[in-house]
Amino acid sequence: MKRNKIYAWMAAAMTLAACSTNDIADITANDADNVVNIASVTRSGETGNTTAQQMTAPFHLINVTQMAKFDMKYEADYTFDNNTYSVNGLVVWCNSYDNEFQAFSPLHTSANNASFTTFTIPTDQSTADQLAAADWMTATTTEKKGNNNGAISLNFEHQLSNIVITISEDAKSDLASLSDIKVLGTITPYYNSTTKTIQAIVEPATTVPNTSLLTFNDATGESYTIPFPSSITSLDKGKQYNFTLSGGHNTLTISSVSVTDWTQASVATGKENEAWNGSNALKLTFSGDLTGAKLVLTYHYTEPQTSNNAKTRTPDASISQKILSNCIEIRKPTAEGIEVEIRSEKNSSIAEIPLNNDANIVLLSSKGINKNGTTNFTFSDNENPVPGYLTIGVTGNNANGIGLDVSGDLRSLVDASEPKNADTSEAKFTNLFKDCKQLKSFKKIQLNQMAENCCEGMFENSGLEQSPILPDTTSVNCYKNMFKNCIDLKQVELPAAGLSSGCYNGVLSGCVNLEYLKLGVTKENLKTLNDKENPPFGNFLGQNDNNQEITDDDATYNSLTAGSNTTQRTLVVNVGVDINELGLPPLWKDTDEGTNVLFLD
């Protein structure tokens, strides 16, 4: 073993001597001073001030002078970890010369062909790590061995262009979920669904790119194409091009354009952008003046219903304090913590989260598995369910001027680790946003299985202005009173072709400003289910008895019947459906009352 080591050392020494014993120092255990050290590594144009920012991306370094003069290639990969650089390889000084060094980042792969002069831009930049791997940077410096204690400083510069597209507040509700996103026609960008920003690193160009700036599909599958703004005539390396996407449905435009130095220092790759990206959390976005406002989560304790009266009970103090803290994760989409005050009151456990204008997003998800959804919570040291249900609301002096838009995945309140595979067969979201007047939209309800009464009263008496996209299946009483007394609701689609007992019982009762209703039920399914005790359309538009004669001045009719405050209504049903079997009040069957019935082939 010792003999092999000696032979290897002698071979290395002979090789170095063959180059020049004067110009390249021998590398032995006692000659560490000939190894090139790193004094500092920074990025230019990162901070907007005179303080340089630490370069944390891995990079490759080579001594160009040695290569040119002696055909000796000393190079190494540097990786930043725990505030220091780990080195794979060796770079040494060339004595008596000005040493030119070249560095590049990211490290070379067969796919990116990275070097100081070449780089292949990856077209898939859809994750934070893949975006960072597309940021080609180079640095060069010239030093003599004796300067700076044998250490060099590198300042990296971006060699590509950065495009950042921000979706404005007025467009966020329409664009809560995007797919098939492309920038400049070929690049799949990084889409941060929390901050609603799209980012792509692209090749610099001296002329306007002959393609669209952005294409994508929204949650309904509708395609959008955003042309490249004519005010931008080139794409320069090291520059960041900032675009703001504004407008509503079908009217999206670029409302602002700016060009700055590449100011985004790094791409966050931690938990906030990966585990909490809106696909495994329920995202609550607030608008308006949030000064002094609080998000309030209340768990209402109940006993099983007896006769027609619901009983209440208060768990012991230790359980009461643990109900919300053990079942619901409350976070912001940043690395910061979030202030949560949990307290107990009679018959309820309450969590209050302060809101502010600089942090208007809160993410909710399950801790562990809440198999019962937001009802009948259980947790590890209290295996018996605590009967009750969760409600979400907002308080504050300016509460009436606050808006709340909800997106993300409802299933994440059942199982945040795998929402798409969550077992929702027992999950209920009873009264979740009941009486929440700040609620304006809830993008989509996703459930893998539908429990009985799963969405009963979910939005009752809320400020909901548009109905969410609903599942195309039903269960017993699944939508009972779901939108009851939502007086701002004007358009609703109930897409399920099949029916279940009581599935639409009272669903739109009291929605007095309803103007448009589309039903997915087929004539075959309408005739199949004949439950007279709990009919699928029982009182679903606010009238218990279809044969009851209602006069225009009847107060009950005016306060309960959906659409009673509107002069024009549209009912859309599948061809062959007998509207007389839908439990419709006369208002929705009589064309003389302003209702237009359309039949879909």
Structure tokens at 324: 């919300």
pLDDT on residue 22 = 37
For residue 524, give the H/E element and its range: helix 523-528
**C-alpha–C-alpha distance, residues 454 and 471, integer Å:** 12
Is it the case that residue 428 has pLDDT exceeding 70? yes
- Mean pLDDT calculated for residue range 435-446: 93
pLDDT digits (tens, 9 = 90+) for 83-109: 777 888 888 888 778 899 999 999 999
Q: Kindly report the number of other CB atoms within 10 A of residue 568's CB atom.
A: 11
- Contact criterion met (CB below 8 Å) for 175 and 181: no
Confidence at 564, pLDDT banded by 50, 70, 90? confident
Give the contacts of 421 (CB within 8 A, at least 6 positions apart).
415, 448
Q: 391 versus 86: which is more confidently predicted?
A: 391
**Of 481, 426, 477, nearest to 453 (Cα)?**
477
Summarised one tens digit per residue, pLDDT across range 446-505 is 999 999 999 999 999 999 998 899 998 999 999 999 999 999 999 999 999 999 999 999
Give the residue, 367 or 71, on which the prediction is more confident. 367
Going from N- to C-terminal start, the domains of the chain cover 37-158, 161-261, 278-302+315-449, 456-547+555-600
Cα dihedral value 391, 395, 401, 402, nearest 10: -50
**Is residue 329 scored above 60 in pLDDT?**
yes
In this predicted model, which residue has the larger pLDDT, 380 or 421? 421
pLDDT, tens digit (0-9, with 9 covering 90-100), for 267-315:
332 233 233 344 578 989 899 999 999 999 999 988 754 545 566 667 7
In contact, 547 and 489? CB cutoff 8 Å: no
Percent of the chain with pLDDT over 70: 80
State pTM to two decimals.
0.56
**Comparing C-alpha atoms, which of 159, 156, 160 is closest to residue 41?**
156
pLDDT average, residue stretch 359-370: 87
Tokens of 599: 């039949």
Closest CA to 214 of 198, 196, 203: 198
**pLDDT at residue 276, as a whole number:** 38
- The phi, psi pair for 154, rounded to 5°, reads -120, 135
Give the model's confidence band at 33: pLDDT under 50 very low, under 70 low, under 90 confident, else very high. low
* Beta strand pairing call for 341-345 and 348-354: antiparallel
How do residues 504-518 score in pLDDT, each as one tens digit?
999 999 999 999 899
CA distances from residue 228 to 33, 170, 186 in whole angstroms, order as listed: 54, 21, 14
* Digit-coded pLDDT (tens) for 401-411: 999 999 888 99
Identify the burial level of 497 via C-beta atoms within 10 angstroms of its C-beta, where 0-12 means exposed, 13-18 middle and 19 or more buried.
middle
Contact 238, 155 (CB under 8 A): no
What region does 238 belong to: left with phi over 0, alpha with psi -120 to 50, or beta? left
CATH classification of 161-261, choosing from 2.60.40.2630, 3.10.105.10, 3.30.420.40, 3.40.190.10? Answer: 2.60.40.2630
The CATH class of 37-158 is mainly beta
Give me the helices (H) in 208-349, please: 271-274, 317-327
